[in-house]
């Protein structure tokens, strides 16, 4: 790109171009749009049509609903919507999983037998002497039926520590099937139904547990079994991964099933030859949002960017096709694409966009369909005009699934969480923070997520990431091992250097926050850090959250005993009562709590403070100096 005042930040460079061309993007719309002062406080009720009622100006709505009820109801509906997104994603995965196991879907296979057997054990499915496909069919059918379970609890919650399961039972928080809980949540929030703030929030908690320890976890685990469990892979990120001389196909959304096939299709020799015949040097595939995270972790496919980069990718003029599946798709993609040759292809019957080309996902012929999409891109290449691809891309190492963390830290002879627990106990690692979630257009280039993460690692807090927050940190070169030497405190740097990992571990997409739950449960099981998740020096954080899915995730962490610190504003700030319930109220019930704090430095302080409180409770507040034992000392110890 030409010289611009924003050189160095590719998104800001592209925004200069958008302004110049008069093209509207989320960043420019957020500048000109005044956020609704009522909605921002959780004070707008539109659950019936006597209103909408303004609970910022009034103490009660027309129906008599109070400020507190409306705030709790709005929050609970966000949980329900977020959970629905994850669970419906999971459902698609389970259906394909069953089809693959039955041999009906030729393009999908049961790959990870080890994980299949582990899950079969959770579900009480016999594995001995059975074919993996037979096991997978039984597992898939059980899981699918469980979504609608009317009475019993989802079996995945058995993966939580025993004490946590007991707490959920004692507090009447053990969920039934996730579909059941979501429907009830929506029912309870209709006009004139559940009007007690805590009752609403508690049902939101059941719904969130059913998602975190059910829906999302099922999506993650079954995707791993079918598509492969991620392991470390080197990759590149930024708008600069788009290739000027190649055909660029961008996959975007959350469901990796078709994107996996497109990754395979671009290798096809015949298609490569067709691309060359059109004057391109090859076919380049890259990703946006969580579909990007999925193919990045499993194949090292480069990441163009996160949520706030989707329009900017089109703005480069270098994208022949953007194939989108579900969730976090900006409707404006098609309007931006009108200014260029880019074809936006929708592929899910659940996520159509006016003005896009619809090529509906056909699971039975997924690879053939992926090839059709690649052909559309090839045929579109000659229509390309001037391109503006920012120069350069950053390196990153990704693929830190729970299994990878266990393997990397424990070593091939004794994969375990023991070394992680030991390094927390001896104080080299102060604690762990999951820094996850979205990017906000009005915070583009302000470094909120990366500043927070830099402060955490400087204080020896190991950071695990998912979702779009990963891109914000990749952009600041935090997802490479060298970042440990540059930014991490001495203890964390020593561990990272010894193991060869970055201080910030990319664990996947948003549904993969379940990997963090599993890792936390493994830390408890390993011993030495208490006997419940609420004992761990672990905090969740979504510094730039915007999606209902983020609230759903936050609530399942809180339900699991892990506090969460969210940036931006609190969506319940209009109600002191609900703010208090989400804070102190939940701390008393589950040990987790919600904190809303927009300032990255203050967010880091809250996280570090909480970790220190937990360390003190565990009796490990003092960092243990390393002692080199001589023979006499060893004799005294009886070695």
Binding-site ranges for ligand BF8 (CB under 6 A): 254, 289-290, 306-307, 328, 437-438, 467-468, 509-510, 547, 549-550
3-state secondary structure 55-109: CCCCCECCCCCEHHHHHHHHHHHHHHHHHHHHHHHHHHHHHHHHHHHCCCCCCCC
Residue 595 beta carbon to ligand BF8: minimum distance, rounded to whole angstroms: 19
Q: Which of 472, 441, 435, 434 is nearest to 546 (CA)?
A: 441
- Residue among 459 and 509 whose Cβ is closer to ligand BF8: 509
Residue 211 beta carbon to ligand BF8: minimum distance, rounded to whole angstroms: 13
Q: Report the alpha-carbon distance of residue 165 to residue 534 in Å, rounded.
A: 12
- Residue among 85 and 136 whose Cβ is closer to ligand BF8: 85
Q: Which residues contact 528 (CB under 8 A, 6 or more apart)?
A: 421, 422, 425
Alpha carbon 514 to chain centroid, angstroms: 9
Q: Report the alpha-carbon distance of residue 89 to residue 112 in Å, rounded.
A: 20
- Residue among 506 and 549 whose Cβ is closer to ligand BF8: 549
- Residue among 80 and 136 whose Cβ is closer to ligand BF8: 80
Query: 204 to each of 208, 211, 254, how far by Cα in Å?
Result: 6, 11, 23
Dihedral, 270, 271, 276, 277 alpha carbons, nearest 10: 80
Q: Give helix 216-227 / helix 513-526 axis angle, nearest 10°.
A: 90
- Residue among 255 and 320 whose Cβ is closer to ligand BF8: 255
Could you tell me which residues are beta bridge partners of residue 568?
Answer: none
- Residue among 155 and 254 whose Cβ is closer to ligand BF8: 254
Residue 316 beta carbon to ligand BF8: minimum distance, rounded to whole angstroms: 20
3-state secondary structure 123-192: CCCCCCCCCHHHHHHHHHHHHHHHHCCCCCCCHHHHHCCHHHHHHHHHCCCCCCCHHHHHHHHHHHCCCC
Residue 444 beta carbon to ligand BF8: minimum distance, rounded to whole angstroms: 13
Q: Report the alpha-carbon distance of residue 302 to residue 307 in Å, rounded.
A: 15
Residue 555 beta carbon to ligand BF8: minimum distance, rounded to whole angstroms: 14
Q: Report the alpha-carbon distance of residue 309 to residue 499 in Å, rounded.
A: 33
- Residue among 287 and 502 whose Cβ is closer to ligand BF8: 287
Q: Report the alpha-carbon distance of residue 158 to residue 163 in Å, rounded.
A: 11
Q: Report the alpha-carbon distance of residue 459 to residue 503 in Å, rounded.
A: 11
Residue ranges in 211-332 assigned as alpha helix (H): 216-227, 256-265, 269-277, 289-299, 310-315
- Residue among 247 and 553 whose Cβ is closer to ligand BF8: 553
Residue 288 beta carbon to ligand BF8: minimum distance, rounded to whole angstroms: 8
Q: Which residues contact 147 (CB under 8 A, 6 or more apart)?
A: 87, 90, 91, 177, 178, 179, 214, 215
Residue 196 beta carbon to ligand BF8: minimum distance, rounded to whole angstroms: 29
- Residue among 510 and 589 whose Cβ is closer to ligand BF8: 510
Eight-class DSSP state of 443: G
Residue 306 beta carbon to ligand BF8: minimum distance, rounded to whole angstroms: 6
Residue 395 beta carbon to ligand BF8: minimum distance, rounded to whole angstroms: 21
Residue 401 beta carbon to ligand BF8: minimum distance, rounded to whole angstroms: 17
Residue 78 beta carbon to ligand BF8: minimum distance, rounded to whole angstroms: 12
Residue 41 beta carbon to ligand BF8: minimum distance, rounded to whole angstroms: 22
Residue 285 beta carbon to ligand BF8: minimum distance, rounded to whole angstroms: 18
- Residue among 409 and 517 whose Cβ is closer to ligand BF8: 517
Q: Reduced to 3 states, what is the DSSP secondary structure of residue 208?
A: helix
- Residue among 380 and 547 whose Cβ is closer to ligand BF8: 547
Kindly report whether the peptide bond that precedes residue 52 is cis, defined as omega within 30 degrees of 0: yes
* Beta strand 53-54 pairing with 44-45: antiparallel
| The two three-digit tokens of residue 454, written as one number | 């830099």
Q: Which residues contact 499 (CB under 8 A, 6 or more apart)?
A: 408, 409, 419
- Residue among 307 and 586 whose Cβ is closer to ligand BF8: 307
- Residue among 467 and 489 whose Cβ is closer to ligand BF8: 467
């Amino acid at each position: 790109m030409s010289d611009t005042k924003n050189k160095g930040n590719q998104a800001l460079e592209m925004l200069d171009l958008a302004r110049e061309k008069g093209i509207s993007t989320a960043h420019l719309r957020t500048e000109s749009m005044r956020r609704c002062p009522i909605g921002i406080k959780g004070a707008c009720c539109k659950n019936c049509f006597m209103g909408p009622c303004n609970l910022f100006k009034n103490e009660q709505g027309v129906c008599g609903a109070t400020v507190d009820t409306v705030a709790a109801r709005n929050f609970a509906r966000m949980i329900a919507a977020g959970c629905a997104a994850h669970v419906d994603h999971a459902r698609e995965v389970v259906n394909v999983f069953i089809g693959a196991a039955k041999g009906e879907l030729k393009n999908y296979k049961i790959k990870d037998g080890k994980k299949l057997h582990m899950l079969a054990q959770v579900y009480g499915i016999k594995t001995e002497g059975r074919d993996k496909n037979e096991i997978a069919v039984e597992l898939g059918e059980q899981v699918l039926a469980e979504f609608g379970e009317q009475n019993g609890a989802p079996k995945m919650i058995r993966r939580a520590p025993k004490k946590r399961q007991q707490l959920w039972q004692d507090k009447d928080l053990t969920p039934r099937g996730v579909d059941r809980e979501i429907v009830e949540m929506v029912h309870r929030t209709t006009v004139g139904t559940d009007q007690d703030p805590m009752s609403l929030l508690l049902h939101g908690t059941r719904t969130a547990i059913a998602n975190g320890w059910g829906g999302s976890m099922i999506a993650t685990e079954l995707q791993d079994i079918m598509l492969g469990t991620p392991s470390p892979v080197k990759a590149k990120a930024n708008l600069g991964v788009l290739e000027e001389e190649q055909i660029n196909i961008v996959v975007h959304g959350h469901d990796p099933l078709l994107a996996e096939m497109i990754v395979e299709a671009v290798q096809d020799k015949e298609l490569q030859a067709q691309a060359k015949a059109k004057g391109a040097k090859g076919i380049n595939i890259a990703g946006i949002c969580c579909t990007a995270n999925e193919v990045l972790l499993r194949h090292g496919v480069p990441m163009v960017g996160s949520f706030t980069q989707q329009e900017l990718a089109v703005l480069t003029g270098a994208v022949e096709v953007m194939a989108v599946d579900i969730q976090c798709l900006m409707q404006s993609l098609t309007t931006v694409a009108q200014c260029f040759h880019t074809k936006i292809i929708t592929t899910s019957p659940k996520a159509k966009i006016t003005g896009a080309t619809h090529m509906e996902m056909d699971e039975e012929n997924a690879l053939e369909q992926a090839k059709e999409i690649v052909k559309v891109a090839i045929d579109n290449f000659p229509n390309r005009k001037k391109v503006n691809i920012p120069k350069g891309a950053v390196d990153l190492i990704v693929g830190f699934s729970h299994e990878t963390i266990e393997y990397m830290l424990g070593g091939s002879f004794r994969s375990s969480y023991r070394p992680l627990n030991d390094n927390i106990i001896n104080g080299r690692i102060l604690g762990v923070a999951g820094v996850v979630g979205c990017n906000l257009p009005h915070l583009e280039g302000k470094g909120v997520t990366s500043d927070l993460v830099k402060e955490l690692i400087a204080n020896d807090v190991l950071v695990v990431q998912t979702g779009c927050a990963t891109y914000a940190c990749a952009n600041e070169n935090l997802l490479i091992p060298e970042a440990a030497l540059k930014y991490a405190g001495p203890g964390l740097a020593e561990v990272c250097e010894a193991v060869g990992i970055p201080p910030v571990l990319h664990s996947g997409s948003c549904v993969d926050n379940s990997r963090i739950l599993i890792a936390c449960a493994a830390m408890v099981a390993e011993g030495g850090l208490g006997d419940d998740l609420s004992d761990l020096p672990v905090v969740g954080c979504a510094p730039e959250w915007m999606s209902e899915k983020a609230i759903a995730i936050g609530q399942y962490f809180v339900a699991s005993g892990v506090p969460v610190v969210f940036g931006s504003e609190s969506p319940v700030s209009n109600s002191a009562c609900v703010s208090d319930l989400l804070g102190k109220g939940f701390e008393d019930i589950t040990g987790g709590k919600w904190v809303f704090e927009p300032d990255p430095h203050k967010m880091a302080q809250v996280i570090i403070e909480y970790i220190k409180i937990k360390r003190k409770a565990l009796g490990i507040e003092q960092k243990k100096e390393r002692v080199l034992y001589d023979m006499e000392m060893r004799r005294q110890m009886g070695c």
